[in-house]
Amino acid sequence: MNRRYSGIGMTSQRTRGRLIERLREQGIQDEVVLAAMNAVPRHIFVDEALASRAYDDVSLPLGFGQTISQPYTVARMIEILRDGRPLKRVLEIGTGCGYQAAVLAQVAEEVYSVERVQPLYERAAEYLKELQAHNVTLRYADGNMGLPEVAPFDGIIMAAAATHVPPTLLKQLAVGGRMVLPLGAQEQYLCLIERDAQGYRETRLETVKFVPLLMGKA
């Protein structure tokens, strides 16, 4: 394991352990999610200048006006997505630096993640290769379209806020599947969508703050 990977001082396993304790205190209960968060070194996804803050529970700038999500939010969304069950095929919209995709890779058999900003997509691909996250497939594309050639997904997670649920993504959700997304513009909240044989059920959860879902590739 190289130095960048294992980390020193503020980026060490012990620092990550403290983050896990904080997530527990904040109410994350799913042990599978906590173990996944513990396994993924967040500092490799942020600029070296910010690495010492990688385990603070805050969002950090990624460049291109985007941010790496707050650890609590990543843990919470994956906890909702899992609902205590193993996940087979998951789609993430908004790869960003790839951190959440790396955490998802620990809890799902196959992860597909779509990013519309090419340099972010390329950098995430490098980071995930370095982490040997072989079950993650990245695509440079507009996430509004989903990935029809791979669908259906038993989990869909969006890392950017939509003003309405993209209908194309609803169609790509498997029966029995769950989708978690931030909804709204100024005021945003987490929305859970569950699909069963009868249709879709929507549940409004806590308020959140995400960058907006944009249209097309950049």
22/28 Cα distance (integer angstroms):
9
Q: What does DSSP assign to residue 213?
A: P
Residues 69-108 vs ligand SAH: string with x where CB under 6 A? x-----------------------xxxxx-xx--------
- What is residue 158's three-state secondary structure? strand
Nearer to ligand SAH (CB atom), residue 7 or residue 96: 96
Of these, 7, 41, 143, 182, which contacts ligand SAH (CB under 6 A)?
Answer: 143
Q: How large is the greatest C-alpha to C-alpha distance in the chain, in angstroms?
A: 52
Q: Does 144 bind ligand SAH (CB under 6 A)?
A: yes
For residue 114, state whether it binds ligand SAH (rule: CB under 6 A).
Answer: yes
Point out the catalytic residue in the list 12, 52, 69, 113. Answer: 69
- 213 near ligand SAH, rule: CB under 6 A: yes
Backbone angles phi, psi at 179, to 5 degrees: -125, 135
Residue 69 a catalytic site member: yes
Is residue 117 involved in binding ligand SAH (CB under 6 A)?
Answer: yes
Sign of torsion over alpha carbons 57, 20, 208, 131? positive
User: Which of 207, 176, 215 lies closest to 191, judged by CA?
Assistant: 207
Q: Residue 105 has which token pair?
A: 């890779």
State the nearest-atom distance from the C-beta of 155 to ligand SAH, in Å. 14
Q: Give the residue, chosen from 51, 77, 120, 138, that forms a contact with ligand SAH under the rule CB under 6 A.
A: 120
- The minimum distance between CB 201 and ligand SAH, in angstroms, equals 25
Rounded least distance, CB 103 to ligand SAH, Å:
8
Radius of gyration (Cα) for the chain, nearest Å? 16
Go through 3-33 and write b for each residue having 16 or more CB atoms within 10 A of its CB, e for each that does not: eeeebeeebeeebbeebbeebeeeebebebb
Of the pair 68, 128, the CB lying nearest ligand SAH is at 68
- Where do contacts with ligand SAH occur on this chain (CB under 6 A)? 66-69, 93-97, 99-100, 114-117, 120, 142-144, 159-160, 211, 213-214
Catalytic amino acids?
Answer: 69
